[in-house]
Amino acid sequence: MSENTATMGKPIFSPFNIVAGAILLVGGILTILRFTQGLDAVTNLSDYNPWGIWIGFDLLVGVALAAGGFVTSATVYIFGMKRYHAAVRPAILTGFLGYALVVLALHYDVGRPWRLPYPFIMQRGTTSLLFEVAACVALYLTVLFIEFSPAALEWLGLKRARNIVVKLTLLLTIFGVVLSTLHQSSLGALFLIAPSKLHPLWYTPYLPIYFFVTAVIAGLSMVIFESTLSHRFFSHKMDAAHLAEKDTVPLGFGKAAAFVLAGYFIIKVIGISAGNTWHYLATGYGAWYLVELLGFVALPAFLYAVGVRDKNITLIRWTAAWTVLGIVVNRFNICLVAFNWHLPSSERYFPHWMEIGISVFIVTLGVVIYRFIVTRMPVLYEHPDYDAH
């Protein structure tokens, strides 16, 4: 396939380019305001609410939705399900961009971002969960970069370097699974130090387990969601192997997601029983908790199962989108809605429009970079000069 296939005949001022360009322009202006006038000028953060949407969405949601990389790699290279091989590179690319944008978003949230490397060099906080999360994210971002590099090396024609990296595939996959398990669960463990601030329905010793399991759910659902969009907008870049997996990936990953969601529902109920927090379900927060539990856990588990049984690909794809939304709701509930639940409404946090604008800017930047890469590099097709690894 030629690189020019994707770009030939495409107007510069297409609707996508116009909308994306406008968002990036506004985001650039907000970025300048953030780094010249400080956090107070663009956020509603306070001493009561030091973590806002940039942590709740850009970090917690972003890391969860980027889990498709380690889930898909483990599926293919550790569990040997080679029929999903064509889904690996798009999932790795999505994971790499997700983690890279998480690191970018952290620069907005940290008061003095130029000191982010400080704990690694000057004073290592080895007893801190945040230190462990930072170390694992930095290492896993490096792993994802190396895992994706064969596509870039094939594009550049560096065959020898590409072959060396391909030989490291299994080692990188195992390392990635270990790192992902550590930091996905540790993000949940961060909230264990705030039992008086997090609502009892969401506070539980099982939070690290919940975060890891939901990351797996997010990874499975995100691969289906990303595959759906790729077949919709980039099918002209796909070879026969990728086109053949149009239905295979949703069916296989949907079946796995149904089982994991069912297991997650069970351990959520166990968590309520262990904490003896049943009486909170009769409150307003309890009603919203049931919306999350029944609407975004039990319902998609059922819909995935029905979709797989009936081989209803459309239902599976819509369920994947609903499940991704459920992950967003879950992370928002823990970090924002149920956090500081005891404070009066006047003291509660609600994001400034500039915070939302910067988050939209970061997501749009990721979409633009993804589009640039898949239209030029062998991500959705096998390069004819190289054997599939």
How sure is the predictor about 180, in pLDDT bands with cuts at 50, 70 and 90?
Answer: very high
pLDDT at 6 > cutoff 50 = no
pLDDT at residue 78, as a whole number: 93
| Closest of 26, 10, 35, 12 to residue 364, by C-alpha | 26
Give the tens place of pLDDT for each residue, 191-201: 999 898 999 99
Give the tens place of pLDDT for each residue, 264-276: 999 999 999 999 9
pLDDT at residue 387, as a whole number: 62
Question: Is 203 in a helix, a strand, or coil?
Answer: coil
Quick one: DSSP state of residue 75? I
pLDDT at residue 8, as a whole number: 47
Quick one: DSSP state of residue 339? B
d(CA 340, CA 343): 6
Higher-confidence residue: 232 or 128?
A: 232
Question: Is 33 in a helix, a strand, or coil?
Answer: helix
| Closest of 142, 140, 166 to residue 88, by C-alpha | 166
pLDDT at 7 > cutoff 50 = no
The whole-angstrom distance between residue 274's C-alpha and the CA centroid of its chain comes to: 29
pLDDT at 124 > cutoff 80 = no
> Do you know the residue count of the chain?
389
110-119, 299-308, 354-363: segment of lowest average pLDDT: 110-119
Q: Is the dihedral of CA 133, 139, 143, 144 positive or negative?
A: positive
pLDDT at 46 > cutoff 90 = no
How sure is the predictor about 325, in pLDDT bands with cuts at 50, 70 and 90?
Answer: very high
Residue 339, phi then psi, degrees to nearest 5: -90, 135
Contact 264, 293 (CB under 8 A): no
pLDDT at 242 > cutoff 70 = yes
pLDDT at 385 > cutoff 80 = no
Give the tens place of pLDDT for each residue, 205-229: 999 999 999 999 999 999 999 999 9
d(CA 241, CA 297): 32
Mean pLDDT of 253-281: 96
Which residues, 6 or more positions from 51, have their beta carbon under 8 angstroms from its beta carbon? 45, 109, 335, 339
pLDDT at residue 1, as a whole number: 44
Contact 90, 379 (CB under 8 A): yes
pLDDT at residue 101, as a whole number: 95
pLDDT at residue 3, as a whole number: 46
How sure is the predictor about 10, in pLDDT bands with cuts at 50, 70 and 90?
Answer: low
**Average per-residue pLDDT in the chain?**
91
User: Taking the model in full, what pTM does it have?
Assistant: 0.92
Rounded to the nearest 10 degrees, what angle do helices 207-233 and 313-332 cross at?
140
Contact 99, 151 (CB under 8 A): no
pLDDT at residue 189, as a whole number: 93
| Closest of 210, 201, 344 to residue 286, by C-alpha | 201
The whole-angstrom distance between residue 105's C-alpha and the CA centroid of its chain comes to: 13
pLDDT at 158 > cutoff 50 = yes
Q: What is the CA radius of gyration of the chain?
A: 21
d(CA 181, CA 136): 9
Higher-confidence residue: 83 or 265?
A: 265
